[in-house]
Chain A
Amino acid sequence: MTAAEAPAWLGRRVPRIEDAALLRGRGQFVGDIVRPGMLHARFVRSPVAHGRLLGLEVEAARRAPGVRGVFTAEDFRPHLTSPELAVAMPAGAIRYVVNPRVLAADEVCYAGEAVALVVADTPHAAEDAAALVRLDIELLPPALDPGSALEPGAPRARLGCADNLLARFTVAYGEVAPAFEVAPHVFRDRFHLHKGGGHSVETRGVLAEHDRVDDMLTVWSSAQMPHRNKGVICAALGRAEDRVRVVAPDVGGGFGPKFVCYPEDVAVPLAALLLGRPVRWIEDRRENFAATTAERDQLWDVEVAADAQGRLLGLRGRLLHDHGADTPYGIALPQNSATNLLGPYVLPAYRLEISVALTNKVAATPTRGAGRPQGTFVMERMLDRIADELGIERAEVRRRNLIPPLAMPYRTPLTTRDGAAMIYDSGDYPACMADALRLAGYEDFRARQKAAREAGRHIGIGLSNYVEGTSRGPFETAAISIGPSGQVVLSTGASAQGQGTATVLAQVCAGVLDMDPARITVRTGDTAAIAQGLGAFASRQGPVAGAAVLQAARLVREKALLAASHLLEAAPEDLELVNGAVRIRGIPADRLSLGQVAQVLQGMPGFPLPPGLSPGLSSSVAWQPEALSYANGTHVAEAMVDPETGRITLLRYLVVHDSGRLLNPSLAEGQILGGVVHGIGHALLEETLFDAQGVPATLGYPAYRLPSAPILPWIEIHHRETPTPLNPLGAKGVGEGGTIPAAAAIVAAVEDALRPARIRITQLPITPRRLRTLLAAA
């Protein structure tokens, strides 16, 4: 930040500019948007996990009242460049490219896969008609359990693939075998780590409209990555990029599943094109359970080697990952799990063999935390195991293994998804943990625990450290334009699902242009607002889009000063930008508003622009982070366990985190709170279930259990701010750090509460029933 800029807006708890509309019920979510002549879509979905689709009888549906169109894969085929969505993400380990299909034909591979689309005058009529579609399906044996799916002779999840091994790869470095040979202590554990879905309160939705006047296809979608969706739509429909616009209006939460581009994202626009009418599809909650991607099961079988002091010597094992029936988002999920296992620790040798199994279930793709909570869980729980086995205090074991601050930047022996070295850029991990332990009263917990036990209460404490690679590239965009009205319009490829993206980006811009952020119009998630963009994933938008905005604002500022120097006949260095206007230092009356400057830069027919200046008071920047920046933190959980019922009550939850410089502490805390509570659900509650035939058994609430207000403790958050050198704002991402260490800390607290019983919790979520089973066996 240069001295000439006003940093006043950064780091402040600036009120959200999003709130005014949302609080009044004036948000514009996809389901709130109505277009003239709009029709309503309903998908017909496979009721079975696996089968041959022998026939599809749609005539009765076509004749049903109010029906305007019924489409099958066959109906769509002439209008699609490919029956599949081109969504593959590269990974050498992938053996089979199994892209999602717009509509299934011939074979259905999970219960919930779309096979037909009914469009009618009302949602009711569409649903009535969809019920009339008859499917003739020959049942095929499903592959459901990822372990048995990889055994020889297992039923194949897809007839087109020779087996169910979608990918096998190894994450490894160091001399693993020798480490285990010399290690005085080796401990082995198997973990069954389930993680649930995104469960945004708003389901997915798509509204498409084709304007025949300009041949423009506009798609409103509750998408986290509208630019990516646009690319997929253009490719699928064979449309030029200037004939498709994708808009993510207000989006009611993302949490991962909404960055997937789904079959519905193509099918609904195609139906709108074919019918010549706007078509809206709003996913219902049962569809959300069946057809929206989620995380699911990972089976870990790991051994850890430690020396007599509890220092890590090596870790090795296998990870079996339940991938689902197709590949909308590559294999990022198990990759993240494998690489995030390291956490903030020095691990001299590591070898993890990862097998990714095709199963007849909806695809597993990242939800908040994106596989990292599982990797963190394994490492943290193995450290607790070492501590318990060796009789060393759990925090002390961590102290002995944490990467020291002097080692920063710390080059891990691993590489990231794109093959670059995984380098922890900054942070003081021991100090962070020390802060957390001090603030949590960790030292005197044993006394409190003893007193509680004497009063008949079983309380325990657990801690967990994490790092998270944030601010993933390759870029994010920002464009600022100011017209004669003086209105500052900030457009970005970032997209917003509740994070306060507009507010934080306006703060960055306002700091440079010295104006109230509330006066800035921020346009997110609209491909018409800016040509390139990526969107929301990997805890990135604040820092990455923020850096783009910072640079774009600086360019506009420089240009405004240069233009004004001609107009005010003063040297640029004698000018300052104050409160959204350029003025001569010391002569506040000699000022030009940004609108006046913009007016001049708009040009007059036949008159030259001021020398050296291009038209327009605007700028456009794509900022490319050179590498991931790593946030870190420590969570401490206190839990009370009722050993009779297995019920777990969280008494206290404390977070110390370091996500670099805070752009808006309230927004950062909001991200952490939501993340922690997501992690609490991961630890204690959330479980997507299937029946023995692979049909979803959780299709609603409370069968699927989300955290609710009464079960939550007050969550305390403390900040550390180690600026990252990789970002001009010094900020790191904060979207997922709340989730990553939560399950490990909570489970450790539960085990601790039950001492001296040696309970070892290796399955998530830890439900009361599972805990009772463990207690009965102890």
Chain B
Amino acid sequence: MKPAAFCYHAPRSLPEALAILEQHPEARPLAGGQSLMPQLNARQVTAPHLLDLNRLDGLDGIEEAEGCLRIGAMVRQAALLRSPLLRRHLPVLVEAAVLVGHVATRNRGTLGGSLCQLDPWAELPLVATLLDAELELAAPSGTRRLAFRDFAQGPGRNALRPGELLTHARFPIPAAGTRQAFVEIADRPNDPAEAAAAVSLRLGAAGEVTSAALAVCGPFPMARRLPEGEAMLLGWRPGADPRPLVSGMPLPDAADDDRAAMVRVALRRALERAMA
């Protein structure tokens, strides 16, 4: 299991990286490498050109901007866990990041890599789906912003155009008092989840749900929101049994009933946890 030969590029700056990409549009960006390197080693993926992003400046910061947390694509998953900003504003992302891989793979694996890789069971795309993250995609002509829901097109398929690189993801900071939770059902910690659910709820003065976001993954091609379920949750009051609500939520496209049932279990537990 040794990779096939490739041309290696390790630019220091974003413009330099984009110039290489312009010259070699087939170049494969290498972020943390925790998904790509195994595929290269097994020669399941061959890349004539590898564009190593690990030397780029400016993609490894976490900052508050325009009501969002703006996170560099090369921020390591381990750094997500340690970030005081994230712990304060986006604990659900921290909860999710704990479940990504293992210590050593989190030390290398990046937020951007995971968002581009789009494994169907992956935790970070699930949170990006939940929170309607917005991505910054850089090209030589300039940077465009794209909603994550438009970026994620299927397992392993994203909307990057030739020559583009993901540079940052913006996660909206939830309003104060928003209740969020992440629940995953996996056989062993760090295994690809059978099902996972993330919820974000805002409560009105009387404690009733005034807005809800639900995102699930597992038996779907990729993480998805549940708009019907979100509508059903409006007016729901904590303390009420979530079971009838959750069992009535449509789960279109679930691979099979058994795993759909696991999604419901994850959803219910996430709701219970968010309201606890």
Report which A residues bind B (CB closer than 8 A): 123-124, 127-128, 131, 284-286, 644-645, 647, 685, 699-700, 702, 705, 708, 710-711, 767-769, 772-773, 776
- With contacts A131-B43, A286-B42, A644-B265 taken as known, whether A773 is within 8 angstroms of B187 at the C-beta atoms is no
A708 contacts B188, CB within 8 Å? yes
Could you tell me the distance between the alpha carbons of A708 and B191 in the complex, rounded to whole angstroms? 11
Q: How many Å lie between the Cα of A769 and that of B261 in the bound state?
A: 11
Distance in angstroms between the alpha carbons of A610 and B188 in the assembled complex? 68
7 A-B residue pairs with CB within 8 Å: A123-B2, A128-B5, A645-B194, A700-B42, A711-B187, A768-B187, A772-B261
Q: Which of A285, A702, A768 contacts B194 (CB 8 A)?
A: A768
Interface flags for B247-262 (1: CB within 8 Å of A; 0: not) read 0000000000010011
Please report the C-alpha to C-alpha distance between residue A711 and residue B258 in the assembled complex, in whole angstroms. 23
Residues of chain A with a CB closer than 8 A to B265's CB: 644-645
> For the complex, is B85 an interface residue (Cβ under 8 Å from A)?
no
What does DSSP make chain B's interface, helix, strand, loop or mixed?
Answer: loop
B residues 183-200 near A (Cβ < 8 Å) are 185, 187-192, 194
Distance in angstroms between the alpha carbons of A708 and B102 in the assembled complex: 12
| Residue from the set A645, A699, A705, A773 with the largest chain B CB neighbour count within 10 Å | A645
**Complex CA–CA separation, A286 to B44 (angstroms):** 12
* 8 Å CB interface, B220-237 against A: none
Collect the chain B residues with CB atoms within 8 Å of residue A700's CB. Answer: 38, 42
Q: Contacts A131-B43, A645-B185, A711-B188 hold; do A124 and B2 have CB atoms under 8 A apart?
A: yes
Within 8 A of A (CB), among B27-71: 38, 42-43
A776 neighbours in B (Cβ, 8 Å): 258
In the complex, per-residue mask of B78-108: 1 if CB is within 8 Å of any chain A CB, else 0: 0000000000000000000000000000000
Cβ of A772: which chain B residues have Cβ within 8 Å of it?
A: 258, 261
| CB pair A702 B2 closer than 8 Å | no
Q: What mask results when residues 91 to 135 of chain B are scored 1 for a CB within 8 Å of chain A, else 0?
A: 000000000000000000000000000000000000000000000
B176 close to chain A: CB less than 8 A = no
Asked whether B245 is an interface residue with its Cβ less than 8 Å from the other chain, the reply is no
The verdict on B240 contacting chain A, using a C-beta distance below 8 Å, is: no
Least distance between A66 CB and chain B CB atoms (Å): 11
Bound-state Cα–Cα, A685 to B188, Å: 10
Q: Are A705 and B258 in contact (CB under 8 A)?
A: no
CB pair B188–A702 under 8 Å, yes or no, is: yes
Expressed in whole angstroms, the Cα–Cα distance for A286 and B41 within the complex equals 11
A286 lies within 8 A of B188 (CB): no
Chain B interface residue count, Cβ-Cβ cutoff 8 angstroms: 20
Say which residue of B1, B2, B188, B262 sits within 8 Å of A645 (CB atoms): B262
Residue of B nearest to A703 (CB): B192
Chain A contacts of B187 at CB under 8 A? 647, 685, 705, 711, 767-768
Q: Are A710 and B189 in contact (CB under 8 A)?
A: yes
Contact A710 B1 (CB under 8 A): no
**Please, what's the 1-or-0 string for B3-21, where 1 marks a CB less than 8 Å from any CB in chain A?**
1110000000000000000
A769 touches B258 (CB 8 A): yes
The residue on A at minimum CB distance from B187 is A768
Complex Cα–Cα for A705 and B261 (A)? 23
Pair B4/A128 contact, Cβ less than 8 Å = yes
Q: Nearest residue in B to A707 (C-beta to C-beta)?
A: B188
B84 CB to nearest chain A CB (Å)? 27
Contact, CB under 8 Å: A773 / B258 = yes
Contacts of B192 in A (CB 8 A): 702
In the bound assembly, the distance between CA atoms of A53 and B141 in angstroms comes to 54
Known: A711-B188, A768-B187. 12 other contacts (CB 8 A): A124-B2, A127-B1, A131-B4, A285-B1, A645-B194, A645-B262, A647-B185, A708-B188, A710-B188, A769-B194, A769-B258, A776-B258
Nearest CB on A from B147, distance (A)? 32
How many angstroms between the C-alpha atoms of A708 and B103 in the bound complex?
Answer: 14
Report B-chain residues with C-beta under 8 Å of the C-beta of A708.
188-190
Write out the residue numbers on chain B whose beta carbons fall within 8 Å of the beta carbon of A644.
Answer: 265
* A750 nearest CB across to chain B (Å): 14
7 nearest CB pairs, A to B: A284-B1, A124-B2, A710-B189, A644-B265, A127-B2, A123-B2, A708-B188
- Considering the chains assembled together, what is the distance between the CA atoms of A407 and B43 in angstroms? 61
**For the complex, what is the distance from the CA of A699 to the CA of B38, rounded to whole Å?**
12
- The distance in angstroms between the C-alpha atoms of A709 and B13, with both chains bound, is 41
Q: A710 vs B194: C-alpha distance in the bound complex, in angstroms?
A: 18
Residue of B nearest to A124 (CB): B2
| Chain A min CB distance to B35 (Å) | 13
B191–A702 CB distance below 8 A? yes
- Given A123-B2, A286-B42, A772-B258, does the pair A705, B189 have CB atoms closer than 8 Å? no
Interfacial chain B residues near A711, Cβ < 8 Å? 187-189
Kindly state the separation between the CA atoms of A284 and B42 in the bound complex, as whole angstroms.
9
